[in-house]
């Protein structure tokens, strides 16, 4: 109770809703131990008004409505643990800020959402588009995605802080090199220019090159076999100036040291000469001795 102006003791609850003890101007405690004292409105209830939170941290314990931090519209547990913000602020975690951090974007509720929740491995974004990715990931221009390597038709641009995939400026390139992205690293295998020669895509390799099947690159025959002029991926077919040893697919200066027979046309070769055969027709390249101790030819090279 409290004394009114007529010096009559008056029940607190008659002036302040749910109030147990009071002065003439202020409620001091509540009837129900589960109610919270709202000191701003001098009332007791199960809820607290906006911009305050339910506080039971006093000593001795008492339930009161305590004001939130000035930036908070609503809060809980402590004054600085915001759950929503005033109109000019954005909620990031439990703090109200003037703007979201660079790796966050504001949603329609003015809450800061981390970019990686919409765009995996993204560090800068809006609600609809990623702009930068975590290293070592690459930001793919035009796709708003972060990938560990550039997709087809793109080339990498890297700095100390950022990796970006930009479209190749040469449409023949399946992948390309910086800085201008016009030099090809690989070509589209089913295109009209499927083979990589240096940094260009071409329709066929030169006669002194072979196609490396794993990469579709044109490789000089002489890099595979010294002195080789034409070849496949597995064997030399002719030499620039030397003789081709058909047994080892190597280029040699002469056939004598190999106990082989030289032929000059249509290309210079060293072949096995097991039997006497018309040189205008064939030369033997594989032979054996038969049951009558006669040397016979099992395989012949056509030189016509």
In tens, the pLDDT along 170-213 reads 999 999 998 889 999 999 999 999 999 999 999 999 999 999 99
* Mean pLDDT, residues 282-293: 54
CA quadruple 47, 50, 53, 59: dihedral sign:
negative
Instruction: Reply yes or no on whether the pLDDT at 99 is more than 90.
Output: yes
For 147-176, b/e burial (b = at least 16 CB within 10 A) is beebeeebbbbeeeeebbbbbbebebbbbb
Place of tokens 């506080």: 55
At residue 87 the predicted structure's pLDDT band, cuts being 50, 70 and 90, is confident
pLDDT for 279 equals: 45
* Mean pLDDT, residues 24-40: 89
Pairing of the two strands 250-252 and 282-289: unpaired
Instruction: Reply yes or no on whether the pLDDT at 137 is more than 80.
Output: yes
pLDDT for 148 equals: 97
At residue 277 the predicted structure's pLDDT band, cuts being 50, 70 and 90, is very low
Share of the chain above pLDDT 90, in %: 60
pLDDT for 303 equals: 44
At residue 258 the predicted structure's pLDDT band, cuts being 50, 70 and 90, is low
How confident is the model over 240-251, as pLDDT tens digits? 999 888 888 899
Assign 238 to helix, strand or coil: strand
pLDDT for 275 equals: 47
Closest CA to 238 of 218, 254, 221: 221
């Amino acid at each position: 109770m409290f004394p009114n102006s007529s010096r009559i003791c008056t029940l607190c609850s008659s002036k302040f809703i749910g109030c147990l003890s009071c002065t003439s101007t202020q409620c001091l405690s509540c009837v129900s131990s589960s109610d919270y004292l709202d000191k701003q409105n001098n009332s007791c209830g199960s809820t607290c008004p906006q911009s305050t939170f339910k506080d039971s941290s006093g000593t001795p314990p008492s339930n009161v409505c305590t004001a939130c931090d000035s930036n908070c519209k609503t809060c809980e547990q402590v004054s600085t643990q915001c759950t929503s913000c005033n109109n000019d602020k954005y909620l990031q975690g439990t703090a109200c800020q003037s703007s979201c951090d660079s790796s966050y974007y504001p949603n329609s509720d003015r809450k800061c959402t981390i970019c990686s929740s919409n765009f995996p491995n993204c560090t800068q974004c809006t609600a609809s588009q990623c702009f930068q990715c975590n290293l070592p990931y690459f930001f793919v221009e035009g796709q708003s995605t972060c990938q560990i390597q550039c997709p087809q038709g793109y080339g990498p641009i890297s700095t100390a802080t950022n990796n970006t995939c930009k479209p190749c400026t040469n449409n023949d390139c399946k992948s390309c090199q910086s800085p201008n992205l016009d030099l090809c690293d690989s070509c589209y295998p089913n295109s009209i220019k499927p083979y990589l020669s240096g940094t260009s895509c071409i329709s066929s390799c030169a006669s002194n090159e072979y196609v490396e099947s794993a990469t579709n690159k044109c490789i000089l025959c002489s890099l595979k076999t010294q002195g080789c002029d034409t070849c496949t991926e597995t064997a030399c077919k002719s030499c620039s100036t030397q003789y081709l040893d058909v047994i080892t697919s190597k280029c040699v200066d002469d056939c004598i040291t190999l106990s082989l027979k030289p032929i000059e046309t249509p290309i210079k070769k060293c072949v096995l000469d097991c039997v006497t055969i018309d040189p205008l027709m064939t030369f033997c390249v594989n032979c054996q001795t038969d049951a009558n101790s006669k040397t016979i030819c099992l395989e012949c090279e056509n030189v016509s």
